[in-house]
Structure 1
């Protein structure tokens, strides 16, 4: 079992959105993720989630795993879930996983648990 966590100030995301607009979100989110994350706090939560997942996989975001290799979604009850791109699945084996995202007080945090 591996655990990854990440926390980010929502204001960092606000500044990036103000400076780069849609190019910023497109840099790390798929179109379906952009449709899910309507608020800045949610976008920050998605950033933290992708960072937490990459940490749980033991590689971080980089050559081995890109932001776009992690695909976030919501289950029927609204809980966050994720999958990996076909390319990333060749490198990372996941038997089961859990993802939690929260935001409050100007921060977004995510925790990912992965069993491989």
Structure 2
């Protein structure tokens, strides 16, 4: 069993400034639609769109194996399109939890470092999905192709933040070749 660890720290002000400068496009560059919903402050508004609050969850992820397929992600995105359209039309920086967004950035960077490749051609931001369990604990899933290519056995993440910085750690165990 091979074990690798990655860590990242980011100032929340960097994320806030990037959102202020580039708007929703910045979020769309590195967050999956489901992650944008997790960072959205007004959960009651989201539930009004869909009375089945399960649809707001990460049901497209196989939480037992921690991977997702492109087909299931596309289906989820299609089902949630009305919500995404409204979020785009009414975008304001105040509608989002900046510390959560910064945490997602740090987690994705930490994961890429644990994999030893960084974010780039081999692993994109959208190949990594952060979701939360019923207790609010964050978990990480990879796109099925990446998960299988890296022969991942288990992924564990943790993050912490104060008003200025977010730190994230990712530990990955790999299956033997």
Displacement of 1:100 in angstroms is: 0.5
Gaps of 5+ in 2: 41-96
Distance (whole Å) between structure 2 residues aligned to residue 59 and residue 98 of structure 1: 18
Give the TM-score of the pair, scaled to structure 1.
0.95
Give every structure 1 segment of 4 or more consecutive aligned residues whose post-TM-superposition deviation is greater than 2 Å: none
Q: TM-score, normalised by structure 2?
A: 0.63
TM-align CA RMSD: 1.0
SS of the residue corresponding to residue 12 of structure 1 reads: helix
Greater Cα shift, 3-12 or 83-92: 83-92
The unaligned stretches of length 5 or more in structure 1 are none
Aligned partner of residue 8 in structure 2, secondary structure: strand
Greater Cα radius of gyration, structure 1 or 2: 2
How many residue pairs were aligned? 116
Name whichever structure is richer in strand by fraction: 1
In structure 2, C-alpha distance between the alignment counterparts of 1:16 and 1:105, rounded to whole Å: 17
Of 86, 101, 112, which residue of structure 2 is paired with 1:54? 112
The answer as to 2:144 corresponding to 1:74 is no
SS in 2 for 1:60: coil
* Secondary structure in 1 matching 2:145: helix
Q: 2:154 aligns with which of 87, 96, 100?
A: 96
Q: Identify the structure with the greater helix proportion.
A: 2
